Amino acid sequence: MTSTVTSAGQTTVAERLVALVTQATGVTAGDLPVQIRAWDGSTAGPDGSDCPTLVVRNPQALTRLLWSPGELGLAQAYVTGEIDAEPAQVGGPGSGAGDALTEGFTRLTALARRPEVRVRLTPSSLVSVLRGVKDLGVVGRRPAPPSTQAHLRGRVHTRDRDRSVIAHHYDLSNEFYAQILDETMSYSCACFGAGPDITLEDAQRAKLDLVCRALELTEGQHLLDVGCGWGSTAIHAAENYRVQVTAVTISREQRDWVEHLVRNRGLEDRVTVRLQDYRDITGEFDAVSSIEMGEHVGQRNYPSFIRMLHDRVRPGGRVLIQQMSRRGRHPGGGPFIEAFIAPDMHMRPLGETVSMLEDGGLEVRAVRGMRNDYARTVDHWIDRFHAHRDRIIALVGEEVFRVWHLYLVGGGMAFRQGRMGVDQILSVRPPDTTAPTAPAVPHAGV
């Protein structure tokens, strides 16, 4: 084990931090997947230069963890800069792993999955941990939450609260998102197909075309796009399939962006943008799309959301939902996402959504899984995020940058490890609910 000492027989802060971890979890110091460097400059942990370093810059990070043990406390400490991650030493076996946060997460996740690793506080070890915490001087009042943490009021999924939630995430500024997304401004999973060298923009256009073909759009039809984002589906459908589009969002930033895009593309006669809650949509449409918006609806309101989809599409019309799907017992968000990224968001397993669509009177025709595509999509977003680091910090500040760094890295890992997926679900409103349904035939595009 690598360690530094201040004088003979005196342990360093880093060594005491490692001791706390081993006492609480049973993990030996040599098995730690990261080195630890403490605020006094001391280091401890496994030998060698092939692992990243967890830097504890401020003892307040431990105070946060005492008050909020687990994911939320760690996220708060990272966002505020009280802890950080550094890559393996240059020239070491692990130095080519790239993003230190990704590398550290991967190693910590692998360690946490080992069956012998768990929090195991016996009475004697609990006493040792408490004594160690006290000796480090980190016992104190609960630190204030970071300024970037969401502070919401009101009952969950009321119109006012939903607007506040969407504004918290999507109204950071259009220019901020332009630093991360491709030219289509698609903030959803792309479709890379079999091409290893396909660009993000081409993969997003392939996804948009996949959606339009699955809906069997033809000239003159009217498409409703619920949760239109920055208008990628609406613009693609209007320009390439010559359909009328009603695009709906509750984000003012997105509405302004899409209206500007529509004017610049000369599509005023084909695309209408509404600043409108999904619960207030009226009219009948030939087809409906909703790309990764249903996660914001909430579990209790999802049947009402499906009823809206059913009632807004004409009999015989098609509905395509693209959703982030929770896998098995894995949570579909977690404390960090709930506090910093998308409060009130709910992700459900694919099978649950299919059942709810069918219970709502829609006939599910086809499903396409795209989990691997989302892992590649996020990789591209991370590359752009780092390439535009200085501009992003100038736009939104260091703390928001760190929030999004954590978000993108964690999201990419969740898709890569199979804890989350993404699925396109194509359904049809039967022409006559009393007549026998036609056999389900997979669509060529899904």
Task: Write down the domain spans for the chain.
Answer: 2-136, 159-428
CATH topology of domain 159-428: Rossmann fold (3.40.50)
Share of the chain above pLDDT 90, in %: 61
Average pLDDT over residues 67-91: 85
Q: Is pLDDT above 80 for 288? A: yes
- Residue 154 DSSP class: S
**In whole angstroms, what separates CA 76 from the centre of its chain?**
17
Burial of 94 (0-12, 13-18, 19+ CB in 10 A): middle
> Are the CB atoms for 179 and 367 separated by under 8 Å?
no
**Rounded distance, CA 31 to CA 237, Å?**
54
CA distance 352 to 360: 12
- 299-347 pLDDT, tens per residue? 899 999 999 999 999 999 999 999 999 876 655 678 898 899 988 888 8
Pairing of strands 363-369, 313-326: unpaired
Please tell me the distance from the alpha carbon of residue 288 to that of residue 125, in angstroms, as a whole number.
58
pLDDT value, residue 29: 72
**pLDDT range class, residue 93, cuts 50, 70, 90:** very low
**Residue 328 confidence (pLDDT):** 67
Gap between the Cα atoms of 400 and 175, Å rounded: 14
- Give dist(CA 334, CA 255) in Å, integer: 29
User: To 5 degrees, how large is the angle CA 389–CA 395–CA 401?
Assistant: 50
pLDDT band at 429 (very low <50, low <70, confident <90, very high): very high
How many residues belong to the chain?
A: 446
3-state SS string over 319-360? EEEEEEEECCCCCCCCHHHHHHHCCCCCCCCHHHHHHHHHHC
Q: What is the b/e burial string over 191-222, where b = at least 16 CB atoms within 10 angstroms of the residue's CB?
A: bbeeeeebebebbbbbbbbbbbebbbbeeebb
Mean local confidence (pLDDT), 161-178: 90
The residue ranking higher by pLDDT, 290 or 154, is 290
Q: Among 151-155, 292-296, 354-358, where is mean pLDDT lowest?
A: 151-155
Q: 191-223: per-residue pLDDT in tens?
A: 998 677 899 999 999 999 999 999 999 999 999
| Pick from 85-89, 112-116, 378-382, 391-395: least confident | 112-116
What residues contact 255, with CB distance under 8 A and at least 6 apart?
249, 273, 274, 275
Select the more confidently predicted residue: 351 or 105.
351
How far apart, in Å, do the first and last CA atoms of the chain sit? 53
| Among 388, 379, 389, residue whose Cα is nearest residue 411 | 379
Helix (H, G, I), strand (E, B) or coil at 84: strand
Confidence of residue 103 (pLDDT cuts 50, 70, 90): confident
Give CA–CA dist 303/319, Å, rounded: 15
